Amino acid sequence: MAVAEENLAIRHALLNLEDRIERMHRDFDKFIHDEIERMPDWERLERDLITFSKKKIFDLELANQLDRILYKFQNRKRIWLRWLEERDGASK
């Protein structure tokens, strides 16, 4: 695979992962407000991010984008876990 094609595939994968984080955030909000019954599977998304982050990315821009997405996930994960704690505390 040519470098340009590989970088394009990585870029699309990164956009997909970022989109999944955004959808997960909306789904968590719906879950916390009892609009959906099932808690979103954030652990699967985390595993997918970890697996993807093990790939060698030689393009600096794409590597920086991956770092930004991983950071975004960690921040959102903190928010989701805090929401769950608050929800559990409010139901007691």
Within 13 Å, how many C-alpha atoms sit on residue 74's CB side?
Answer: 7
> What's the pLDDT tens digit per position in 48-81?
999 999 998 999 999 999 999 999 999 999 999 9
pLDDT at residue 91 is higher than 70: no
Domain ranges for the chain: 3-91
With bands split at pLDDT 50, 70 and 90, how would you rate the model's confidence at 3? confident
pLDDT tens, residue by residue, 21-41:
999 999 999 999 999 999 999
Q: What is the pTM of this model?
A: 0.90
């060698």: which residue's tokens?
56
CA–CA–CA angle 62, 65, 71 (5° rounding)? 145
Nearest of 2, 10, 5, 6 to residue 65 by alpha carbon: 10
